C-alpha cells in the first residue's frame, strides 16, 4: 500500500482517522512493537507493551468454553491451553522476498496468508509452527498516517465471528520503524 492511500469507507478507527473529522483527535493511538523470537525467527507483536497473545487469551476464552474437551480440563490446564494456542509467523511463511513481512503487516498480504472473502490477514499462527492449524486473522487498513488492526477472527472455530479484541490504531511512521527493525529474542517471551 502506498503512503498516499486512504482507508476504504467503513467503520471503526480507520474510518475516523481517514475522514479527517474533528472526532479523529479522539481516536486512540496505540504503540506497536514487532520482534522475532526463537530459532525459526517467528514474528511476535506487542501492543502498548503487552504481547498480543495476552489479551487474545481472554478474547478466545468464550469460544473454547463451548467445547466439551475444554470444560473437562482443570482450571490450570485451561489456562495453559489458552496461553499456548498461538505463535508467530515464520520467515518461511513470508517466502516471497525480503520485504514480504513488511508488505504483509502493512495490509499487502495476498495468497495463502490473506482471506479474500473477509479482507483479513493472518497475524498469528498455530503454536505448532504450521500457521494453517489455527490462524488468527485481522483486518489491516493502512493510510498515509495510520495502520489499524480490527476484525480479529478465528476461522476454524464454531464461532467464527469477530473476537472482542481491538481495534488498534497505530501511527504509521512508528509502525513502519517497528516493522523494519524488529529485535530478535532467543526465546518466546510469552511461554
Residue range 53-75, pLDDT digits in tens: 999 999 999 888 888 899 999 99
Residue with cell 520467515: 91
Dist CA 169 CA 188 (whole Å): 25
C-alpha cell at 101: 513481512
C-alpha cell at 18: 481517514
Closest C-alpha among 109, 114, 115 to residue 97: 109
Q: Are 14 and 5 in contact (CB under 8 A)?
A: no
Low-confidence residues of the chain: pLDDT under 70: 1-27, 97-98, 158-160
Closest C-alpha among 62, 86, 190, 76 to residue 138: 86
pLDDT the model gives residue 99: 81
Burial of 18 from C-beta contacts in 10 A (0-12 / 13-18 / 19+): buried
Q: Are 122 and 136 in contact (CB under 8 A)?
A: yes
pLDDT above 90 coverage of the chain, percent: 51
pLDDT the model gives residue 98: 64
Q: How does the average pLDDT of the chain come out, rounded?
A: 82
pLDDT the model gives residue 30: 97
* Pairing assessment for the beta strands 114-115 and 120-126 based on DSSP bridges: antiparallel
Question: Where does the chain show beta strands of DSSP type E?
Answer: 32-37, 42-47, 50-51, 86-87, 114-115, 120-126, 136-142, 146-153, 168-171, 184-185
pLDDT digits (tens, 9 = 90+) for 87-120: 999 888 877 766 888 889 998 887 888 888 888 9
Dist CA 53 CA 111 (whole Å): 24
pLDDT the model gives residue 26: 43
Q: What's the pTM?
A: 0.81
Residue with cell 513488511: 102
pLDDT the model gives residue 158: 63
The DSSP secondary-structure symbol of 174 reads H
Residue with cell 525467527: 41
Amino acid at each position: 500500500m502506498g503512503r498516499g492511500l486512504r482507508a476504504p469507507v467503513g467503520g471503526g478507527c480507520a474510518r475516523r482517522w481517514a475522514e479527517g473529522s474533528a472526532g479523529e483527535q479522539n481516536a486512540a493511538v496505540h504503540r506497536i512493537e514487532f520482534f522475532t523470537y526463537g530459532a525459526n525467527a517467528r514474528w511476535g507483536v506487542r501492543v502498548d507493551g503487552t504481547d498480543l497473545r495476552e489479551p487474545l487469551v481472554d478474547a478466545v476464552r468464550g469460544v473454547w468454553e463451548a467445547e466439551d474437551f475444554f470444560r473437562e480440563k482443570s482450571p490450570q490446564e485451561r489456562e495453559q491451553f489458552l496461553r499456548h494456542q498461538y505463535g508467530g509467523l515464520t520467515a518461511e511463511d513470508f517466502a516471497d522476498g525480503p520485504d514480504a513481512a513488511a508488505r504483509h503487516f502493512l495490509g499487502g498480504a495476498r495468497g495463502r496468508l490473506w482471506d479474500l472473502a473477509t479482507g483479513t490477514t493472518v497475524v498469528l499462527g498455530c503454536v505448532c509452527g504450521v500457521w494453517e492449524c489455527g490462524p488468527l486473522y485481522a483486518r489491516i487498513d493502512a493510510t498515509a498516517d495510520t495502520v489499524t488492526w480490527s476484525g480479529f477472527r478465528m476461522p476454524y472455530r464454531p464461532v467464527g465471528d469477530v473476537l472482542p479484541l481491538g481495534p488498534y490504531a497505530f501511527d504509521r511512521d512508528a509502525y513502519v520503524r517497528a516493522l523494519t527493525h524488529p529485535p530478535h529474542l532467543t526465546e518466546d517471551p510469552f511461554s
